[in-house]
Amino acid sequence: MLFLRFTLNILLQLTLLSALHAAKWTYSGPEGEHHWSKNYPYCGGAFQSPIDIKSDLLRFDPTLRPIEVHNYNLSPHEQLTLGNNGHSVQISLPSKMYISSLPHRYTAAQLHFHWGSSGRPAGSEHMVNSKQYAAEMHVVHYNSDKYPNISMAVDKSDGLAVLGVLFEVGEFNPAFEQFLKFINGIKYRDQKVQVPGFNIRALLPARLDEYYRYDGSLTTPPCYPSVLWTLFRNHLTISRKQFMSLATALYSSHAQDSAPVPLNGNYRKPQLVDNRVVLVSFKEGRGLQGTLTVTSPHTRKQIIQQLLVGDLADLADEGLYRLLPSGLEKIYPGKKNNLKNQQSGSVSKTKQQMLNPSMWKKSQINRSVGKLGLAEAPLCYVSLEHKIFRQLKQSHAENQIVQALRDAVFPDLNLKSYLDCKSDLALPTIRHLLRGRPTDEAFELDRSLTKALMNQGKPSTVIKKTVPMTKYGSLTPVPVPRKPPSQGYPHPWLLPMEWED
């Protein structure tokens, strides 16, 4: 009897979990984006996409190389699958297509579109200085150096790289027409047709060396923050007739449904920036005069080491500007002039502390910085979600899972993004790193930072002398081992045509 009750309980939990992951979602209405986080917690978490790319977020990075795409000119003899998944138009891409200009090789998986409606021809997800374009294309790639397929990569912090292209209504686009002429074959949800291959490169701007770069997420559920975004600076055009074909020919409902639901306006609204910066590969142009250059990875690693094992009093005094968001150094004029003397002293002091085992918190350093500047183990969001859900369920606080995930994931993502020069160091991350440090010194540093941020009109709550940090997880959560999935898809709600980004 006990065994039967246990079995029924397990089956009930699996049924609930399956229902959760199969949840329906839309862009508006009862299942609209404001409700996504109820069934997909990461949609309410950190580092979400899209964002409004404003001038004050931009940081010039001279190390950004031109995007190099390979095998994008497909032969007409190759067959591609064009499909309507109820959320977008999606084209499957052959694995021979890849990007080589990133730290890893990223192999193409699919491309899809987001667009407006006939009454409102503005449907891009990303905005540039609050301007929304008519449509946006995403070419999705996965890290094939580390993961065997896209479904294994989709929830890893370095799993995906997406190329984004903005479209404006203007001149006719011949490349766009290569698949648009088959669109009547996929009018309804789950319909698919085979289309001949064409030059995908023609769907990208002529210049691949000018782009915006930031760390973000899928723009559709489950919203994993696993995307390295590259949004090209220069947009393309499609004719008004082409846009209207896209905006009026499709339905998000099935052919047999009695009330057809038009498929348009399929874009997510801009998300919080979350202490991120947007790197740019170009320096000239409107709004870019005086754009700051990012600090080097070596300097950023030194700052993290000083937070973990260095003199916090020095940071709170002379070195405080190093912890402030880029561009706020001006509130500490004169402090930066002493940087060379201070830096040499701080580095030598840090080296002495590193030689002293009592000062060198080896486990803390290994968790966050590591030999190469980051722990090698990738953050697995699914495992972390399950871990936190179990913790919260024991305390009957399942409704807090979104905030708990944010508290657990944000410091790790922000630290990785900071060390990769893609964001500023957020105050919650600094507090997370200060766990275990002397209370008085940590309190002094936090008070100085809070005061500096409040002077900039960014109020923040000062931590108490007990230096409370996030309650859930460690700095680098260890993924829970999983059995090899069947058919290469570990998550039953992530079928090939069921997600976009």
- Residues annotated as catalytic (active site), given as ranges: 87
Q: What are residue 251's DSSP bridge partners?
A: 262
Spatial separation of the C-alpha atoms in residues 316 and 45, rounded to whole Å? 30
d(CA 304, CA 419): 9
Q: What type of residue is 497?
A: M
Residue reference for tokens 């190759």 = 78
Q: Which of 69, 128, 119, 134 is nearest to 98 (CA)?
A: 69
* Residues 6 or more apart whose Cβ sits within 8 Å of residue 94: 71, 74, 78, 80, 108, 197
Task: Phi first, then psi: give them for residue 83, nearest 5 degrees.
Answer: -140, 155
Separation of alpha carbons 347 and 329, rounded Å: 21
> Structure tokens of 459?
């109020």
17: which strand partners? none
- Pair 77, 197: CB distance under 8 Å: yes
C-alpha 403/C-alpha 414 separation (Å) is 16
Query: To which residue do tokens 């109020």 refer?
Result: 459
